[in-house]
Amino acid sequence: MINYLYQEQNWKTQLSDLITDPKELLQQLQLSTDQLLSGAILASEQFKLRVPRAFVEKMNVADPFDPLLLQVLPHHLELEEHAGFVTDPLGEEQANQLPGVLHKYQSRFLLTLTGACAVHCRYCFRRHFPYQENLPKNEDWINIRQYLLDHPDINEVILSGGDPLTLTNQKLALWVERLESLPQLKILRIHSRVPIVIPSRIDEELVSLLKNSRLHTILVIHSNHESEIDDYTVRQLHRLTEKQVTVLNQAVLLKGVNDSAEQLAALSYRLLDARVTPYYLHVLDKVKGAHHFDLATDSISQIYTELLARLPGYLVPKLVREIAGENNKTPLYGTPIF
């Protein structure tokens, strides 16, 4: 029986005490470890299981189809080869200008300051990304700064995955200060799944850092299912919105996890409780190892059409696909793609 022991524990303690053994995860959830085929163990060796205990507390005990569990438990199907599913589906190697820097869109610039995530999502499009060879060191700031100065159209920096909120507040503050020193920058965006999997990460220092920056700060969280947002998570997210930090959500449409209009509508209403705006609903990026989360185009179209009918417009996330080399995310609804 799970007893909500970890929810409010210090976030650094939680980050250092992740579940990384699939057997331990199944035992915690009172599930048989017999279902762990050798392929799943091998899949876990290729892309390690990582999940915070506070996130496991949100899962249903004794439910092998729990939608949160399915997102993190290694599966033998990950080892299958499928045409079109590749290691770099978004062509990020082409956009990798300097260590840690991806420049894909005209006004936005993506900076990965860490390769670490608190959770390993099995469908992640960066699951094969060579982070370790590609992290900016302290001294790389000089080159990053020059790159920004050479591209005056860039007015927004996105700190993205690896997950920037696995960094200490001190390290984040150092980079925020550096970015603030460039007058051309107006917006700081942080993409993070940590507020969902370790909600206690939203601490006083972080709230203060985001609230007091001269940059307009936008936190984009990543939640795929209403069960990920319990009452404690709602209260933690309120700490940010009460201080006028904009919080948006992006979700990925995943077979077996949230593949119905009913589920997606429930997520949008739960986000509303947390005062978070549904922003994007991503179609799965075709990354090697994630084929079993993919949905047919007809199903996607049917789900989204029904979602539009169920929700007021302000709660409908934009359905998009990222296509390598395109100048922006490609909106899918109402285009010839369907």
> Is residue 73 marked as binding?
no
Q: Residues 194-233 vs ligand SF4: string with x where CB under 6 A? A: ----------------------------x-----------
Task: Please give the structure tokens belonging to residue 222.
Answer: 């990543």
Site for ligand SF4 in 127-166 (CB under 6 A): 161, 163
Q: Which is nearer to ligand SF4, 278 or 289 (CB)?
A: 289
Least spacing, CB of residue 55 vs ligand SF4, in Å: 11
Q: Are 333 and 99 in contact (CB under 8 A)?
A: no
> Is residue 121 marked as binding?
yes
Task: Please give the structure tokens belonging to residue 39.
Answer: 């392929």
Least spacing, CB of residue 6 vs ligand SF4, in Å: 18
- Asked if 43 touches ligand SF4 (CB under 6 A), the answer is no
- Asked if 121 touches ligand SF4 (CB under 6 A), the answer is yes
Q: How many CA atoms lie within 13 A of 291 on its CB side?
A: 14
Q: Which is nearer to ligand SF4, 185 or 257 (CB)?
A: 257
- Asked if 19 touches ligand SF4 (CB under 6 A), the answer is no
Q: What is the DSSP letter of 138?
A: G
Q: Which of 35, 22, 29, 23 is nearest to 59 (CA)?
A: 29
Tell the burial category of 163 from Cβ atoms under 10 Å away from its Cβ (0-12, 13-18, 19+).
Answer: buried
> Residue 250 forms beta bridges with which residues?
222, 280
Least spacing, CB of residue 139 vs ligand SF4, in Å: 25
- Asked if 51 touches ligand SF4 (CB under 6 A), the answer is no
Query: Measured at the alpha carbon of residue 289, what is the angle toward residues 306 and 324, in degrees to the nearest 5?
Result: 70
Q: Which of 309, 255, 308 is nearest to 283 (CA)?
A: 255
> Residue 277 forms beta bridges with which residues?
248
Binding window for ligand SF4 (CB under 6 A); candidates: 8-16, 118-126, 176-184, 227-235: 118-126
The correct pick among 124, 158, 245, 251 for binding ligand SF4 (CB under 6 A) is 124
Distance CA 79, CA 87 (A): 12
Q: Which is nearer to ligand SF4, 148 or 167 (CB)?
A: 167
> Is residue 21 marked as binding?
no
> Residue 102 forms beta bridges with which residues?
96, 110
Least spacing, CB of residue 199 vs ligand SF4, in Å: 14
Distance CA 332, CA 67 (A): 25
Q: How many CA atoms lie within 13 A of 274 on its CB side?
A: 32
- Asked if 73 touches ligand SF4 (CB under 6 A), the answer is no
Task: List residues forming the annotated binding site for [4Fe-4S] cluster.
Answer: 117, 121, 124
Binding-site positions: 117, 121, 124
Which residues of this protein are in contact with ligand SF4, per CB under 6 A? 117, 119-121, 124, 126, 161, 163, 193, 222
